[in-house]
Structure 1
């Protein structure tokens, strides 16, 4: 049982996943700090309260006023989009380029997708018109 667990832990995928989670958490903290301390204050300059997080929309309720924290929601969306953009630019794009280079070195060429039925009919029509001319 211990040998099976050791084999499971020592597999490359598990170790790589653990490293990715740790680095992703640290990277997320950096991007969150950037958004909280740079981007949100810039947006907060255009918000009446001056702070995006404290921006609320107040509606009259049955007994009391109801506050919707729209600023917190906008801040969370901006934070998510910033993290997604940075992950795409730093990780996804370089990995895609690397995969393309490896495929080119290996001589693997992506096949063109099969033509649709409409495209085939257009080609047949054009060939028939060329033969008649």
Structure 2
């Protein structure tokens, strides 16, 4: 009797790495990192200056003092401050980044994929119609042959 040997740790690791989803995930992470550079450039180079022209570019200086006296900034600051400007700035940055990703990348790609799918379905629909038409022609030929040769037994 031969005993089944358990795979070694190295073999298991090799199988894990060569699975398709691990490679796909690695590619997605690398592409995502490169893509984030593009999105950050659009936000910093185009969107933030436009927002800055309408108001302020940095909301980090806005805060409220909940326990005074609140004086100074940085390490020399006294009192307890709520830095709501920083939270608001981060939230706006997230919303702007999400809008850039959606309107410049996701929406056009979705429309492109929908057009590709419609073309594929139209092409498949055309092939099905052709096949049905050929079947109908063959049936007509069969019926014509039956009519010529008299009562020949046919299968339907």
TM norm structure 1: 0.59
Bigger radius of gyration: 2
- Aligned partner of 1:40 in structure 2 is 48
Distance 1:56 1:25, change over 3 A: same
> Would you say 1:23 and 2:31 are equivalent positions?
yes
Pick aligned residue for 2:84 from 53, 68, 77: 68
Q: How far, CA to CA, are the matches of 1:14 and 1:24 in structure 2?
A: 15
- The root-mean-square deviation of aligned C-alpha atoms, in Å, is 2.8
- Aligned partner of 2:147 in structure 1 is none
Distance 1:93 1:28, change over 3 A: farther
Once the two structures are TM-superposed, the CA of residue 44 in structure 1 deviates from its matched residue by: 0.8
Unaligned runs of 5+ in 1: 109-133
SS at match of 2:42: helix
Unaligned runs of 5+ in 2: 1-6, 71-80, 127-156
- Aligned partner of 2:101 in structure 1 is 83
- Aligned partner of 1:54 in structure 2 is 59
- When the two structures are aligned, how many residues end up with a matched partner? 105
